Amino acid sequence: MIMNLRGSKAKLSMLVERAAAGEEVVITVRGKPRAKLTGMGETPHPIPDRCWADELRMLQKKYSRWPRGRSRSVLDDLREDRFE
């Protein structure tokens, strides 16, 4: 299916449904193809949310600059110096 940009804005939900069903949808601007909608198909290895969250937590620990709670003590020290 080929549709211009203006028409695709008004019917995006329908176009996504058709692409998900396997149809290729081409969007044109001034008569020239600019984008193509296709279905996603099956993802090869879906990542469970829990696994992703655990990995993110591990990376935060590995690359964080300050130990948890440390920034508050640094700010308190700086404020004390300001008032002395």
How large is the average pLDDT for residues 58-78?
Answer: 78
Q: Which pTM value belongs to this model?
A: 0.50
Range 60-69 average pLDDT:
74
Please state, in angstroms and rounded to a whole number, the distance separating the CA atoms of residues 54 and 57: 5
Query: Distance between CA atoms of 65 and 80, rounded to whole angstroms?
Result: 23
> pLDDT, tens digit, for every residue of 8-58?
999 999 999 999 999 999 999 999 999 999 998 776 666 677 788 888 888
pLDDT at 10: 92
* Confidence label for 61 from pLDDT (cuts 50, 70 and 90): confident
